[in-house]
Chain A
Amino acid sequence: MRLRLKILSGFLILALMLSLAGAWSIYELKSSSFAVEDLLSENYKSINAGKTMIEALEREDSAVLLLMLGRRQEGRSILASADSLFLKGFEVASHNETILGEDAFIEAIRTDYDAYKTIWEKPIMDTEREGNLGWYFETTHGAFADAKASVNALVALNDQMMFETASAMRQGADRAVMPGIVAIVAALVFSLMFSYFVNLHMVSPVVRITDGVKGFLHEHKDFDVRVEARDELSELADSIRNLIAHARVAKEQGGMDQ
């Protein structure tokens, strides 16, 4: 292999190692940034919707108590606005199904909320339910608790997913760092190896050729330099050997002529 190619291959390998490591690190960091985006747009949205639904449910529970106390206008008004708030939250959550099995959680919320709503939609005032705490605890509160538990389950699912995504992001960050570390270590070792080879197979033959030429010029020693590699340096050594041989022949012929 020619000298130029040898040197070029060393630098190319070094560049390839570092650029691949860089590209991979960028890819991992980019993946991490997408994961953050997903985290915010998917899980956080559902968690927020869940909180809205819980707040609405609690307001509805208070409104039912107001109705039981005979405060019709206030109670019905709170129920209407809380129902609207709940449905808004539910709309967001049901359109943000991003986790496997999340649809079952949404369906559970729908069922439990419908059951709860059926209870408080019916008249409470001027019936046997007014002021009936027994009815409240046996029917209403149970349905309220079920609906709240379903919403909490959805929030917990998204919380768990958020935690897992965050862990994966940490892994991604580690992975982004690792190619860099290995590339630095590999580049250092490679540089040492490269300089060793350059010294052994390029610098050293040049020194030996120079010594050989000096030996011939000053001490009339034979030029006995062998370069193992088949490259320009071995050709140079061969050329010098031929040149010296020619010079010797010319000198001997010159001597004979005289």
Chain B
Amino acid sequence: MRPDVILRYIGMVLVMLGAFMLLSAAVSLLYKDAAVLPLAYSGVITLLFGMFPMVFVPASPKITSNEGLLIVVAGWLLSCLFGALPYIFWGHEFTFTNAWFESVSGFTTTGSSILTEIESLPHGLLLWRASTHWIGGLGILIFVLSVLPAMGVAGMVLFRIELSPLARDNFRQSMRETSRILLYVYGGLTLAETIALVAVGMNLFDAVTHSFATIATGGFSPRNASIGAYDSPAIEGVIMLFMLLSGVHFGLLFSTLIQRRGPFWKSVVFRYYVTAILIGVVVVTIALGGQADNAWIDSVRHGAFQVISLGTSTGFATADSSVWPPLAQIMLMFFALQCACAGSTSGGIKADRFVLFGKGIWKQIRHARHPRAIIPLRVDGKAVDDQALAAAMLYIGLYATIVISGGLLLMVLGLDPLSAFSGTIATTGNVGPGLGTVGSFENFAGVPGPGKWILTGTMLLGRLEIYGLIMLLMPSVWRRLATPARQEFQRVVLASRR
């Protein structure tokens, strides 16, 4: 592996982050708030670090898969690290651990926060917080690939690694075209939601930050009480619609809405996604309807919002679900585990794997009845091989292992079981709020320091679909990375001795 080439590509990511930081600093300047210097200095440092490798390292259009993997994973980690700089410089509630937590939560579109008083943050910092969602929502590298000029084979390698394997199915176009489609759908949805929110009475700044958070299925709100602060059914309606759309495969959205290639309903995953959410809304509404002081209309309103919010891994809130009946909470946790479709900005196990899981079980049942029959497993008319099915099952198993281990570790650190497990489910699925002390109207400030590091680990595992981060921890990858540098060093040392 070539560390200098890897640094050059990561540099591109940092340049983009630096540009967003400077944009936030400009907004800070516009609002005459106190975050100008923290944002501007962070932007300059990030830009300088990003640009420097480009000065030395010539462009390399070809990279290996291992280099690509390292660029993607290290790109995410360094984005989170540099993204924490504005928080570190701002100070107040942001210790290094808290700044790292907020940054990772932003980029992974989790939306969990350590902030107790969000509204006291300056506008520039709030915009940066929302921007981390928007950059991370599409996938940092895909965002860069969509914006920057063609990068040839290297771009294809990075694109393949960054895009979830499940997400590639609905794209029939080339890498370059696909990244363009993603950016158009992403940008289009963001613009449409901003206009819709302004039209229903939200101010422009809040509309932009909420749109960034909705389309990225993030969940950071500039208000302490999240969407509940507005107490407006119209605003909730707009946000629910865009949360639902953001949970659909972007390729499917593009082919249905722009290319008019047939209805959403043709996709079995979309059918499952919508049906599951509808059932969830009905169950949660019934569970809430039995509560005193909870009129049916409120039950539908808050039930639907919460189910869609968690079912798309967004994490906005209009009500405190920590005090809801157990049935409603169990339903919400199911959606926090499942989340929406692959190819969207959503996190979690994904509806696609649940469809495969269900079809796999059905196949086994049929196989038990007809042991000699060859029963193909099909999704949208396409045969799915056993390896893909096994990969999906393995992923679900690994995901469950991470959730259980994370929950147990948090319990060891002193969290109650409900908060520990719901917190881990919410962060691994990049959903945001859990239940108990980390509920929708609470925050993660009370989680002990080591607990915050565990949760940021689960956020990154969830966002990078587990394997990416695990591969980075393997010694063989580091050995391969060190080899050329070591060889080069030995060459120079030996030469100087001659």
Q: For residue A220, which residues in chain B have a CB less than 8 angstroms away from its CB? A: none
Closest to A203 in B: B492
CB neighbors of A among B34-65 (8 A): 37-38, 41, 44-45, 48-49, 52-53, 55-58
Known: A190-B49, A193-B7. A24 touches B58 (CB 8 A): no
Q: For residue B366, which residues in chain A have a CB less than 8 angstroms away from its CB? A: none
- Interchain CB contact (< 8 A) of B44 among A20, A174, A175, A196: A20
Q: For residue B91, which residues in chain A have a CB less than 8 angstroms away from its CB? A: 171, 174-175, 178
Closest beta carbon of chain B to A179's beta carbon, Å: 6
Contact between chains at B49 and A16 (CB < 8 Å): no
Contact between chains at B48 and A17 (CB < 8 Å): yes
Q: For residue A194, which residues in chain B have a CB less than 8 angstroms away from its CB? A: 52
Interface string of A169-204 (1 = CB under 8 A from B): 001001100110010001000100110110111011
Interface residues on B, range: 20 to 34
Contact between chains at A229 and B58 (CB < 8 Å): yes
**Distance of A158 Cα from B491 Cα, bound (Å):** 70
Is the CB of B142 closer than 8 A to any CB of chain A?
A: no
Main secondary structure of the interface of A (DSSP, over half): helix
**Distance of A27 Cα from B56 Cα, bound (Å):** 34
Q: For residue B489, which residues in chain A have a CB less than 8 angstroms away from its CB? A: 199
Q: For residue B44, which residues in chain A have a CB less than 8 angstroms away from its CB? A: 16-17, 20
Is the CB of A30 closer than 8 A to any CB of chain B?
A: no
Q: For residue B89, which residues in chain A have a CB less than 8 angstroms away from its CB? A: 175, 178-179, 182
Contact between chains at A24 and B41 (CB < 8 Å): yes
Contact between chains at B37 and A182 (CB < 8 Å): no
Q: How many A-B residue pairs have CB under 8 A?
A: 78
**Distance of A24 Cα from B3 Cα, bound (Å):** 33
Of the stretches A6-14, A113-121, A145-153, the one at the interface is A6-14
**Distance of A17 Cα from B492 Cα, bound (Å):** 30
- Interchain CB contact (< 8 A) of B52 among A13, A174, A182: A13
- Interchain CB contact (< 8 A) of B88 among A5, A182, A199, A208: A182
Contact between chains at A204 and B41 (CB < 8 Å): no
Is the CB of B386 closer than 8 A to any CB of chain A?
A: no
- Interchain CB contact (< 8 A) of A27 among B37, B48, B58: B37
Q: For residue A196, which residues in chain B have a CB less than 8 angstroms away from its CB? A: 3-4, 485
Q: For residue B45, which residues in chain A have a CB less than 8 angstroms away from its CB? A: 17, 182, 186
Q: For residue B488, which residues in chain A have a CB less than 8 angstroms away from its CB? A: 199-200, 204
- Interchain CB contact (< 8 A) of A24 among B37, B56, B485: B37
- Interchain CB contact (< 8 A) of B41 among A9, A20, A190, A201: A20
Closest beta carbon of chain A to B176's beta carbon, Å: 25
Is the CB of B22 closer than 8 A to any CB of chain A?
A: no
Is the CB of B85 closer than 8 A to any CB of chain A?
A: yes
Is the CB of B382 closer than 8 A to any CB of chain A?
A: no
Q: For residue B374, which residues in chain A have a CB less than 8 angstroms away from its CB? A: none
CB neighbors of B among A17-76 (8 A): 17, 20-21, 24, 27
Q: For residue A186, which residues in chain B have a CB less than 8 angstroms away from its CB? A: 45, 49
Contact between chains at A6 and B55 (CB < 8 Å): yes
Is the CB of B92 closer than 8 A to any CB of chain A?
A: yes
Q: For residue B85, which residues in chain A have a CB less than 8 angstroms away from its CB? A: 182
**Distance of A203 Cα from B49 Cα, bound (Å):** 22
Closest to A10 in B: B52
- Interchain CB contact (< 8 A) of A204 among B37, B53, B492: B492
Contact between chains at A201 and B4 (CB < 8 Å): yes
**Distance of A93 Cα from B69 Cα, bound (Å):** 67
Number of residues of chain A lying within 8 A (CB) of chain B: 36
Q: For residue A197, which residues in chain B have a CB less than 8 angstroms away from its CB? A: 4, 52-53, 56-57
Q: For residue A232, which residues in chain B have a CB less than 8 angstroms away from its CB? A: none
Closest to A174 in B: B91
Closest beta carbon of chain A to B378's beta carbon, Å: 49
Closest beta carbon of chain A to B91's beta carbon, Å: 5
Q: For residue B57, which residues in chain A have a CB less than 8 angstroms away from its CB? A: 197, 201
Contact between chains at B92 and A171 (CB < 8 Å): yes
Is the CB of A211 closer than 8 A to any CB of chain B?
A: yes
Closest to A199 in B: B492
Closest beta carbon of chain B to A26's beta carbon, Å: 12
Contact between chains at B495 and A201 (CB < 8 Å): no
**Distance of A182 Cα from B94 Cα, bound (Å):** 15
Known: A16-B48, A27-B37, A179-B41. A6 touches B56 (CB 8 A): yes
CB neighbors of B among A199-233 (8 A): 199-201, 203-204, 207-208, 210-211, 228-230
**Distance of A229 Cα from B4 Cα, bound (Å):** 12
**Distance of A122 Cα from B485 Cα, bound (Å):** 96
Q: For residue A256, which residues in chain B have a CB less than 8 angstroms away from its CB? A: none
Closest beta carbon of chain A to B2's beta carbon, Å: 9
Contact between chains at B52 and A193 (CB < 8 Å): yes
Q: For residue B492, which residues in chain A have a CB less than 8 angstroms away from its CB? A: 199, 203-204, 207
Closest beta carbon of chain B to A22's beta carbon, Å: 11
**Distance of A9 Cα from B485 Cα, bound (Å):** 23
Closest to B45 in A: A186
Interface string of B404-431 (1 = CB under 8 A from A): 0000000000000000000000000000
Q: For residue B38, which residues in chain A have a CB less than 8 angstroms away from its CB? A: 175
**Distance of A174 Cα from B88 Cα, bound (Å):** 10
**Distance of A27 Cα from B34 Cα, bound (Å):** 13
Q: For residue A210, which residues in chain B have a CB less than 8 angstroms away from its CB? A: 495
Q: List 20 A-B contacts (CB under 8 A).
A: A5-B55, A13-B48, A13-B52, A16-B48, A21-B41, A24-B37, A27-B37, A175-B89, A175-B91, A178-B89, A179-B41, A193-B52, A196-B4, A200-B4, A200-B485, A203-B492, A207-B495, A207-B496, A208-B491, A229-B58
Q: Which B residues form the contact surface with A (CB < 8 A)?
A: 3-4, 7, 37-38, 41, 44-45, 48-49, 52-53, 55-58, 85, 88-89, 91-92, 485, 488-489, 491-492, 495-496
Q: Which A residues form the contact surface with B (CB < 8 A)?
A: 1, 5-6, 9-10, 13, 16-17, 20-21, 24, 27, 171, 174-175, 178-179, 182, 186, 190, 193-194, 196-197, 199-201, 203-204, 207-208, 210-211, 228-230
| Besides A179-B41, A207-B491, 8 other A-B contacts (C-beta < 8 A) | A5-B55, A13-B52, A16-B48, A178-B88, A200-B4, A204-B488, A207-B492, A207-B495
Q: Which A-B residue pairs are the 8 nearest by beta carbons?
A: A197-B56, A207-B495, A13-B48, A228-B58, A9-B55, A174-B91, A229-B58, A201-B56
